[in-house]
Chains A and B, each alone.
Chain A
Amino acid sequence: ETGVTQSPTHLIKTRGQQVTLRCSSQSGHNTVSWYQQALGQGPQFIFQYYREEENGRGNFPPRFSGLQFPNYSSELNVNALELDDSALYLCASSSGTGLGYEQYFGPGTRLTVT
């Protein structure tokens, strides 16, 4: 059984640019959640996708957007990058959205905005 994978591992972008991060969910999982972990902080919920539909969003501006594909993999897109977007971006997959459905995290993508 393949775990959650994310690509790329590291990324350096310039302020104002756009970035796309990718996540492959664990086999059998239909839900993907994205989190942003800034340095010295815990992961902060960005949004969740369930069966290709957005299922909840945290306190992030609209320039953070996402997609989920029929195979349940997912993308996180960030437009007009700002210096504060520098962080570790984690995706987590689960087999449902309800309380108690365990989330399995990928290793993350480290984004640096200069």
Chain B
Amino acid sequence: DQQVKQNSPSLSVQEGRISILNCDYTNSMFDYFLWYKKYPAEGPTFLISISSIKDKNEDGRFTVFLNKSAKHLSLHIVPSQPGDSAVYFCAASAREYGNKLVFGAGTILRVKS
């Protein structure tokens, strides 16, 4: 039973445009959400997070939006750069789970120059 779903296996975007990566979750207990980026032959690196008490968190070119009623979050990258090409994982946790994470299957982002 996949509790965190990323339904788009891949996304291709032109440099300078917006990239929007989506994630859905089913477990109502999740109250903390993270995005990780992974390059080949490297481990995932933390990108941005959001707590369920917020609906938006911004860090430079990266913004995460959370819609609790729809159990949906999205990552916006503006403007997209070729160096953003990577696999993006959505992850979730709950206060009682601590920092043990449940990951989605990932979305491959390709930014074309």
Contacts and interface: CB of A to CB of B under 8 A. Distances in A.
A105 interface: yes
Contact of A56 (B42, B97, B102, B103): B97
Interface string A97-114: 111111111111000000
B25 interface: no
Interface string A41-69: 11111001000000110100000000000
Interface string B59-97: 000000000000000000000000000000101011101
Interface residues of A, number: 30
Interface string A76-114: 000000000000001010101111111111111000000
A44 B4 CA distance: 11
B98 A42 contact: no
Contact of B105 (A42, A99, A105): A42
A99 B32 contact: yes
30 contacts: A4-B43, A31-B99, A33-B101, A35-B101, A41-B106, A42-B4, A42-B6, A42-B91, A42-B104, A42-B105, A43-B44, A43-B89, A43-B101, A45-B100, A48-B98, A48-B100, A55-B98, A56-B100, A58-B100, A94-B99, A97-B98, A99-B93, A100-B32, A101-B98, A103-B101, A104-B43, A104-B46, A105-B36, A105-B43, A108-B43
